[in-house]
Amino acid sequence: MSDLTSLTVAGALSKLKTREISPVDLVQAYAKKLEENKKYNAFVTLVVDDALAKAKDAEQKYLNNTNRRLEGIPLGVKDLFCTKGIRTTACSHILDNFVPPYESTVTQNLLDDGALFLGKLNMDEFAMGGSNETSYFGPVVNPWSKDVPLVAGGSSGGSAAAVAAELCAAATASDTGGSIREPSAFCGVTGIKPTYGRCSRYGIIAFASSLDQAGPICKDVTDCALLLNSMAGYDPKDSTSSKRDIPDFSSFIGQDIKGLKVGVPLEYRPDGLNPEIASYWDSAAQILKDCGAEIVNISLPHTKYALPAYYVIAPAEVSSNLARYDGVRYGLRIEGNNLDNLYISTRSEGFGTEVKRRILIGTYVLSAGYYDAYYLKAQKVRRLIKNDFDNAFQKCDVILTPTSPVEPFAIGDTKMLENPINMYLNDIFTVSVNLAGLPAMSLPIGLSHNGLPLGMQLIGRAFDEATIFKTAYHLERGANFVRM
């Protein structure tokens, strides 16, 4: 029965519709796999019994031919999404045992389409990190690890690891500066960050409100299309939610890409780029060329300013968003002699080192005398980065780049832990996409000489996920990557 966990979402739906398997069979197969693979630390909360009960209802719907488009599909949910009646902590001590009385819009959309939740997935605390080592519940272990435990990438490391290890059929995730794409690359799975505003942010615990965006992590491109069909949509509860129509993303799978122009940015190939990654980049371009696409060189001249701009803007929004965690209304409370002491004690004990670092940076750049010098300048750079993409898309239809400049590294790597800037540099290919609000997908392209997965990234115009999906499908077929 455990073989059922190797099915893609599309494959599982096909067998469910023909009654070859039942939703109960599927949940039981994943329950067994979860019991056998606790070593990855991918889940922080399990609700398998609830999923099994709902699977029985789903089974009845298939018998009655009233099944919905994701009926009976067992998913994992990143612990950043509020789930009614299920503990949601953002993997922070300060939200210990918080159980939301409401459901996030994205997870409600999935429930409305018949999906089942197996539990909540591990992540970097408040989504702040690039390796899933800042979680209060400990790091996620990459399923591709061999002799040494490797990071799964962050912040959605639990989502990527769970999909790679076949502990759930697919997973929800979120991306602020690469947090869907980098862990997808590290774990050899596929994830898409949609255009900002494509998915509602209501009920997603905020990191940086102008950058955060929900998206799926799945086994392949087709599954990403299926999940995004359900996750996306306008939400009146989110003022940044787009009213644009949602196309059927699945309809673009398999479409021809002859004549499509694929941009390759010169600035993404710096001196010292890992030669294996550069080689796979060339191979990916050749795969698309062989499918009839045209490869064109483009320039994104302000790329070098993306990281510094991001690490001014994101912490500034963190400083504001995390002010609400004070020990008074919900979550952790450390009693004090007075109100100020309660605030200080609760926040000191409740937040981890990386979260504190970003709060301090954000408070500094928003303070009197520094707001103009840092925050306003960073916002101007953000506009220039957006303009670069606008200019590039006059010459091409989609942009091809590596996802990460490195392969998965060891948990506890001193080079990364002793100097946080080294960790931040891993986001060099991803953060500009969030600053510009564009859609981007990471999919596996091959293995390094160490036998570890490497990812390629496709970036599209705003609200043009369609071109990404049809391009990614051909790249996926050409790469012929073998999942774990």
Structural domain includes residue 320: no
Lowest model confidence (mean pLDDT) among 21-25, 55-59, 261-265, 420-424:
420-424
Residue 96 has pLDDT above 90, yes or no: no
Instruction: Give me the CATH number covering residue 231.
Output: 3.90.1300.10
Spot the catalytic one: 54, 78, 193, 219: 78
Q: Is the preceding omega at residue 279 within 30 degrees of 0, hence cis?
A: no
Task: Give the pLDDT score at 421.
Answer: 78
Domain carrying residue 121: 2-250
HSE, CB side, 13 Å, CA atoms: give it for residue 373: 6
| Residue 142 lies inside a defined structural domain of this protein | yes
Q: What is the pLDDT of residues 371-385, one digit of tens each?
A: 999 999 999 999 999
The pLDDT of residue 414 is 76
Distance CA 273, CA 308 (A): 20
327 in any annotated domain: no
- Strands 190-193 and 213-218, bridge-based pairing: antiparallel
Q: Which of these, 434, 413, 408, 129, lies nearest to 307 by C-alpha position? A: 434
Residue 111 lies in a domain: yes
Check whether 202 has a pLDDT greater than 60. Answer: yes
DSSP string, 362-389: HHHHHSTTTIIIIIIHHHHHHHHHHHHH
Which pLDDT value is given to residue 293? 98
Q: Predicted confidence band at 114 (pLDDT cuts at 50, 70, 90)? A: very high
207, 73, 481, 38: CA torsion to nearest 10: 70
329: number of Cβ within 10 Å: 8
- Asked whether residue 62 is domain-assigned, the answer is yes
The pLDDT of residue 109 is above 80: yes
- The answer to whether residue 57 sits within a structural domain is yes
Question: What pLDDT, on the 0 to 100 scale, is given for residue 232?
Answer: 98
Phi then psi for residue 483, to 5 deg, are -65, 165
User: What whole-number distance in Å separates Cα of residue 468 and Cα of residue 397?
Assistant: 9
Q: Is residue 129 part of a domain?
A: yes
155 is catalytic: yes
Q: How far is CA 242 from CA 136, 237, 245, in A?
A: 34, 11, 9
User: What's the alpha-carbon Rg for the chain, to the nearest Å?
Assistant: 21
pLDDT of res. 150: 98
For the chain, counts of helices (H) and of strands (E): 16, 11
CA proximity to 193, closest of 209, 208, 207, 182: 182
Query: Would residue 274 count as lying in a domain?
Result: no
Amino acid at 213: Q
Would you state the pLDDT for residue 46? Answer: 98
**C-alpha–C-alpha distance, residues 57 and 86, integer Å:** 20
**Per-residue model confidence as pLDDT tens digits over 330-357:** 899 999 999 999 999 999 999 999 999 9
**pLDDT over 70 percentage in the chain:** 99
Nearest CA to 437 among 105, 210, 204? Answer: 210
Which residue matches tokens 């989110």? 238
Q: What is the value of pTM for the model shown?
A: 0.97
Average model confidence (pLDDT) across the chain: 96
pLDDT at residue 480, rounded to an integer: 96
pLDDT digits (tens, 9 = 90+) for 313-332: 999 999 999 999 999 988 99
Q: Residue 73: enclosing H or E segment and its boundaries?
A: none
Kindly tell me if the per-residue pLDDT of 2 is higher than 90.
Answer: no
Number of domains making up the chain: 1
Rounded-to-10 torsion of CA 2, 8, 14, 20:
-10
- How are beta strands 74-78 and 170-175 bridged, if at all? parallel
Beta bridge partners of 214: 174
The catalytic residue among 179, 184, 242, 319 is 179
Among candidate residues 135, 155, 200, 241, the one labeled active-site is 155
Q: Where does the pLDDT of residue 416 fall: very low under 50, low under 70, confident under 90, or very high at 90 and above? A: confident
In the predicted structure, residue 1 carries a pLDDT above the cut 70: no
Could you tell me which of 55, 179, 199 has the C-alpha nearest to residue 122? 179
Measure the CA–CA gap between 428 and 91, rounded to whole angstroms: 25
